């Protein structure tokens, strides 16, 4: 693994189909601001109330488990180092059917240990149905 990799862990029936994930800088470095660009296709409109769960693990140990309101994050109301935007929605209306780009900007702390991390992202619709899923591996050992 050269720094990071991802797996689309979603189903072919998910309303948000992930086409690619780009990371900048590549590979991510402790102390940097990382931009994740998710190119996707919304098979149907994604309504306010959608949410995602993020779990960050170091080996078998859960370091973080948190639920985020997708549209609250798009509106800029989040409280963490995560800044989320979407090229087809400002968070005030649905994400329309069609191609879309979700961008997450994350400030990584300098104190990240030299280790391999796993991020599991599971997104759900307002009706608690599967929306999308991603597994991201990041190796800070090099």
Q: How many domains does the chain have?
A: 1
What is residue 1's predicted lDDT score, i.e. its pLDDT?
45
Domain range holding 23? 4-139
Residue 78's pLDDT is: 66
pLDDT band at 76 (very low <50, low <70, confident <90, very high): confident
Tokens representing 23 are 């990371």
CA 52 to chain centre: 8
Residue 49, CB-side half-sphere exposure with 13 Å CA sphere? 8
pTM, entire model: 0.90
CATH assignment of the domain containing 124: 2.60.40.770
Give residue 54's pLDDT: 94
Q: Quick one: tokens of 105?
A: 């900007």
DSSP 46: B
pLDDT at 33 over 70: yes
Q: pLDDT tens-digit profile of 88-126?
A: 988 888 999 999 999 999 998 899 888 999 999 999 999
Please state, rounded to an integer, the average pLDDT across all residues of the chain. 92
CB 134 within 8 A of CB 121: yes
pLDDT bin (cut points 50, 70, 90) of residue 59 is confident
Q: Which residues pair with 85 in a beta bridge?
A: 103
């Amino acid at each position: 693994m050269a720094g990071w990799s991802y797996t689309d862990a979603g189903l072919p029936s998910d309303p948000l189909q992930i086409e690619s994930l780009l990371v900048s800088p590549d590979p991510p470095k402790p102390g940097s601001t990382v931009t994740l660009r998710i190119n996707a296709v919304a098979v149907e409109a994604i309504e306010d109330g959608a949410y995602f769960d993020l779990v960050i693990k170091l080996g078998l140990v859960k370091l973080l488990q948190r639920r985020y309101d997708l549209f609250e994050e798009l509106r800029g109301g989040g409280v963490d180092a995560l800044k989320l935007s979407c090229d087809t929605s400002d968070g005030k209306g649905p994400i329309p059917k069609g191609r879309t780009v979700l961008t997450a900007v994350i400030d990584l702390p300098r104190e990240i240990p030299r280790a391999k991390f796993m991020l599991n992202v599971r997104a759900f619709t307002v009706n608690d149905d599967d929306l999308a899923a991603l597994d991201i591996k990041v190796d800070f050992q090099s």
